A and B are shown apart, each in its own frame.
Chain A
Amino acid sequence: MIPVTKEERQWFLRQLALGLVEYLGVAEPPVPVEELLRNPPALYDEDFGVVDMFSNLWDATFARPPTQRGSIFVRMDLDPEQRRFALARELLSALITSKHGRRMGLSDLLLPNLRESAEYFASQFLAPEPLLQAYRARGGDRETFPHTFKIPMQVADHRWIEAA
């Protein structure tokens, strides 16, 4: 894989996030991340589609046994916003390890900076540019942004400044 800058990687991640948002046909926030995981596009049917709960350790993690469908394990006591962000973050791992993701070459591009890539992807997927612009055009403000998009406050603050 050729060397890739952070800006190029982020551009690529933004397009992937937008492609999924468009697939879902989302016209208003919040973006239904759990619905996507439970009912992914047909080409991911064999790769992922389950959200399991567990009660300790990490907030969420994606695991895929060889030759089996992957699952995201998410901690049950997370608040809804943190849970959605954790699921969106692990969605990227699910995409990378999927058959289609491997054909796309996602692992070579994204694995070297997986944590950073996953967090960036999650923020773009849950607060995509078109929905954020529409929210601002309607007079939506920074205070209600996290609640409207159902994302953690810290993520919302960063996303709001980034999109300004």
Chain B
Amino acid sequence: MSMKALNQLVARSIVDPSIVNAFSHGDIGMVMTEMDFSADVRSSLEQLKANSWAEFATLAYRIVKAKEESVRHVHLPSPLEGLLPGDARADEQVA
């Protein structure tokens, strides 16, 4: 969700000067409120310090990617699932 919003934000910035203007004036948070960023990602991005829009975009990409990878990691089943003693699937197979 946030990566899609970031992609749209960066894509728009090449043809829409209002985005770079907002960044230059410290108002990029206002632009992000109109987009589909999660609240915690938006909060992290609003606190970013960068010397240029391109640098901001790169740092934002790192943050959003790391957040999305951590969420994906949490939802992934453990490779040990089904092998541990007492595990339901393991029990079923034995039965």
Q: List the interface of chain A (C-beta within 8 A of B).
A: 1-2, 4, 8, 11-12, 15-16, 18-20, 22-23, 41, 43, 95, 100, 103-106, 108-110
How many angstroms from the CA of A22 to the CA of B10 in the assembled complex? 12
Q: List the interface of chain B (C-beta within 8 A of A).
A: 7, 10-15, 17, 20, 24, 51-55, 57-59, 61-62
How many angstroms from the CA of A41 to the CA of B62 in the assembled complex? 29
For B51, B54, B58, the residue with the greatest tally of chain A CB atoms inside 10 Å of its CB is B54
Contact: A4 with B11, CB < 8 Å? no
Q: Select which of A22, A23, A106 is within 8 A of B54 by beta carbon.
A: A106
Which residue from chain B places its CB closest to the CB of A8 in the assembled complex?
B58
How many angstroms from the CA of A8 to the CA of B65 in the assembled complex? 10
Q: Pick 18 A–B contacts, CB within 8 A, sort by A.
A: A1-B52, A2-B55, A12-B10, A12-B54, A12-B61, A15-B10, A16-B11, A18-B11, A19-B14, A22-B11, A43-B15, A43-B17, A100-B17, A103-B24, A103-B53, A104-B52, A105-B52, A108-B55
